[in-house]
Amino acid sequence: MNTHLHTATHAPLSARVELRDLHLNTSMGTYGPNDVVPDAHTLDLTLWLAPALVLIEQDGMAHVFDYDPLVADIDRLAADGHYETQERLITRIVHACAAYPAIEALDIGLRKSPVRKGSGSLGVRVSVDAQTLSALR
């Protein structure tokens, strides 16, 4: 299969795996007696991969990126003690992603909710390009 496919605009074709709305079992933040304590920490993660890992000629896990081990890593990191900040957990997840050579770039967002009584979410998001991910490896 030709992995150098182009779209109608002649830009290289890219492939993504998208994980959305994953509720993490984590302990995060420091709150006073009158503060609203979030009851959900939700992860969105987009991974850019080689198109050959998505546009496959035959069915089978040997031909695609197996994201299950990465999800297990994320679950382990989330449950790995108390975090003061969302940023620290995101940093650890980015480093975990760097351990997978198939991941070429990524976008990650983590949000907590509610922010006020029954309303709102507050999140942190970072995009990591191929050069930055390479430097982490």
Q: Which pLDDT value is given to residue 40?
A: 96
Q: In the predicted model, what is the mean pLDDT of the chain? A: 92
Quote the pLDDT of residue 13: 79
- Domain segments of the chain as ranges: 15-136
Residue 75's CB is within 10 A of a number of other CB atoms, namely 14
Structure tokens belonging to residue 102:
């198939």
- Whether pTM > 0.85 for this model: the answer is yes
Q: Is 120 left (phi over 0), alpha (psi -120 to 50) or beta?
A: left
Per the DSSP assignment, residues forming a β-bridge with 15 are 49
Question: Yes or no: is domain 15-136 CATH 3.30.1130.10?
Answer: yes
Please, which pLDDT band fits residue 1 given cuts at 50, 70 and 90?
very low
Residue scoring higher pLDDT (3 or 71): 71
